[in-house]
């Protein structure tokens, strides 16, 4: 039994390493659609915009329904205010969403149990289940889908809310 578990962990680690090596996560840009499904509301809320991932920094520009320009990096989450960047969040794990978009499995493994399924060339899914108490109070699961790029991130919250980020690569 222990041998089988060790083999499964070894295969998962190998799959994740192969996946990480085969997908493009630097100098990626495109458009996104973010759908928020809030419990208690009949209709989902959608926003649209563009993104660029470069040098460990994610530029997230929402064009509608409300215009906003956000920069996410290891120092924090910043809102553009004219030419200035203003830090917006003190309590959010700045690297978490960046790690998901970049598929930084080394960072994700610190906070989540990871389950990989699918084919690296044809399409794959990674299910992230929170390990620590704080993340367990926020998320039940996070799913990341892709092929040679991360194409979709689904965040399932304890509250019943769900956020879906879909990426169209240019």
The token duo for 53 is 């991932």
Per cent of the chain over pLDDT 70 is 85
Residue 3 reports pLDDT greater than 70: no
- Within 10 Å of residue 146's Cβ, how many Cβ atoms? 22
Farthest CA pair distance, the chain = 59
Q: Who has greater pLDDT, 1 or 83? A: 83
- pLDDT, tens only, 25-51: 778 999 999 999 999 999 999 999 999
Q: Who has greater pLDDT, 120 or 28? A: 28
Q: Who has greater pLDDT, 74 or 70? A: 70
- Within 10 Å of residue 112's Cβ, how many Cβ atoms? 23
- Note the pLDDT of residue 6: 31
State the number of CA atoms in the 13 A half-sphere of 132 facing the CB: 7
- Note the pLDDT of residue 75: 82
Tell me the average pLDDT of the chain.
84
DSSP the chain: -HHHHHHHHHHHHHHHHHHHHHS--SSEEEEEEEEEE-TT-SS-EEEEEEEEEETTEEEEEEEESS-EEEEEETTEEEEEETTEEEE--SSS-HHHHHHHHHT-HHHHHHHEEEEEEEETTTEEEEEEEE-SHHHHTTEEEEEEEESSSEEEEEEEETTS-EEEEEEEE-
Which domains, ranges and CATH numbers included, belong to the chain? 2-169 (2.50.20.10)
Q: How far apart are the first and last CA of the chain?
A: 46
- Note the pLDDT of residue 4: 32
């Amino acid at each position: 039994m222990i041998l089988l578990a060790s083999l499964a962990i070894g295969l998962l680690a190998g799959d994740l390493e192969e996946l990480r090596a085969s997908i493009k996560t630097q100098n990626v840009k495109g458009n996104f659609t973010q759908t928020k499904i809030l419990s208690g509301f009949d209709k989902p809320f959608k926003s649209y915009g563009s993104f660029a991932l470069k040098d460990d920094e994610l530029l997230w520009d929402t064009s509608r329904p409300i215009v906003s320009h956000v920069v996410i990096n290891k120092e924090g989450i910043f809102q553009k205010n004219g030419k200035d960047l203003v830090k917006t969040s003190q309590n959010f794990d700045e690297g978490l969403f960046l790690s998901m978009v970049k598929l930084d499995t080394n960072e994700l493994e610190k906070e989540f149990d990871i389950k990989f399924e699918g084919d690296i060339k044809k399409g794959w899914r990674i299910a992230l289940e929170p390990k620590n108490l704080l993340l367990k109070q926020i998320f039940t699961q996070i799913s990341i889908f892709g092929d040679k790029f991360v194409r979709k991130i689904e965040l399932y919250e304890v509250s019943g809310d769900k956020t879906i980020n879909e990426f169209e690569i240019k």
